[in-house]
Amino acid sequence: MKPEILAPAGSLEKLKIAIDFGADAVYLGGGKLNLRAFSNNFTNEEIAEGVKYCHDRGRKVYAVVNVFARNYDLNGVEEYIKGLEELGIDAILAGDPAIIVAAKKAAPNLEIHLSTQANTVNWMAAKFWYDQGVKRIVLARELTFNEIKGFKENLPEDCELEAFVHGSMCIAYSGRCLISNYMLGRDANKGICSNACRYKYALVEETRPGEYYPVVEDEDGTYIMNSKDLCMIKHIPELVESGIHSLKIEGRMKSEFYVASAVKAYREAVDSYFENPEGYEFKEEWMHILNRVSHRQYHTGFFFGRNGEQNYDVSSYIRNYDIVGIVKSYDPETKVATILQKNRVFKDDCVEVLRARTPDFNVTLMDMFDVEKNVDTDVANRAQMIFTAKVDKPLKENDMLIKGKKVLSL
């Protein structure tokens, strides 16, 4: 079984990028009941456009309704879920039994996926949810491959399994954290986590306020609650052979560059495996693609049972590349590209082109022109600025232009 590549869609633009770069399905949040309150959650009009964009290309859209609902959250929940069904959503992701009950009542034909927030860590729990009408179980991140094997051996064949394979991890068990809520009144289980686990901490003795005693792990301080990022790109054979139906990429809050890169790497790796399973070889270029985006140090989570790798090292991101623009159009006669600026870029800069199903290549941005001001320019330095540039190789609409960050030596 060829697993689905499931990508995050934090906005309509990111949804289209994920699909263009090869995702089989995307997951998004609507106006309520999802755990990314600070994401650019979709309006009903955007959901409809996103669904059409996906369905026209034979892809699927899942809507996240995965909060732990309080009584007041249940007001209008049936109408909201029925509305998602009418917009053409292929499935909802939920972890709260109340929302699942409401979904079965309001939209009995709508497919239900069980959120990882339900922290399903054994096959009997998965079978319980399956018997309640859940089609797919999003496994708890804390499971090993050996444990996942037990799921496959004991569940009905049509009970699908989904697992996170790439992206940020959480210190708390299946993301059920109260630190942010306790410290700042921002409830992670309601979608407004402050990521307090990634702060720097020190000790203060109660009778000596203002005297901070450092807790030192290394020269940068201590980050005992800070999780590395998950990355399973080097283990595609194990993922496929485990029987996982859907390989999920975390990151609805992350950039277009991140979405394009993660989908491209996993799409190429999975396709390469299925082209020749016996002769499959990992390609370092896939790791290079993932190393360019902003990330914390990578590890393999709990899949191989090495739980101790979950939490340590600095909390800062590794960020070696920036996205500098997205190509909106290209004139093959004049060799001029119209580009939407994303980060500062200069005339005559050499940039890399990130394109789906195509090896990366370089182009030089020459003869830059500021469209809004109608003047030649040496730099594109305004957010969302539209500019043109002559390039030495053909480009395509939606090509992503990226550039390595300069490392200053002392």
Query: Could you give the residue range(s) of every CATH 3.20.20.70 domain in the chain?
Result: 4-172+226-310
pLDDT digits (tens, 9 = 90+) for 4-33: 999 999 999 999 999 999 999 999 998 777
- Say if residue 201 is exposed, middle or buried (CB neighbours under 10 Å; 0-12, 13-18, 19+): middle
What number is the average pLDDT over the span 298-319? 72
* Nearest CA-CA partner of 230 in 136, 137, 165: 165
Confidence check: pLDDT of 104 > 70: yes
What number is the average pLDDT over the span 300-319? 70
pLDDT digits (tens, 9 = 90+) for 368-404: 999 999 999 999 999 999 999 999 999 999 999 999 9
Tokens of 405: 């960050």
Query: Could you give the residue range(s) of every CATH 2.40.30.10 domain in the chain?
Result: 321-404
pLDDT digits (tens, 9 = 90+) for 59-102: 999 999 988 888 988 999 999 999 999 999 999 999 999 999 99
Q: Between 196 and 237, where is the model more confident?
A: 237
pLDDT digits (tens, 9 = 90+) for 235-284: 999 999 999 999 999 999 899 999 999 999 999 999 999 999 999 999 99
Mean pLDDT rounded to a whole number for the chain: 90
- Phi and psi angles of residue 173, each rounded to the nearest 5 degrees, phi first: -65, 115
Question: Is 3.30.160.150 the CATH number for 321-404?
Answer: no
Are 214 and 202 in contact, with CB atoms under 8 Å apart?
yes
Q: Which one of 3.10.580.10, 3.30.2130.10, 3.40.50.150, 3.20.20.70 gives the CATH number of domain 4-172+226-310?
A: 3.20.20.70
Tokens of 16: 């289209």
Confidence check: pLDDT of 409 > 60: no
pTM for the model stands at 0.89
CA atoms of 48 and 59, how far apart (whole Å): 14
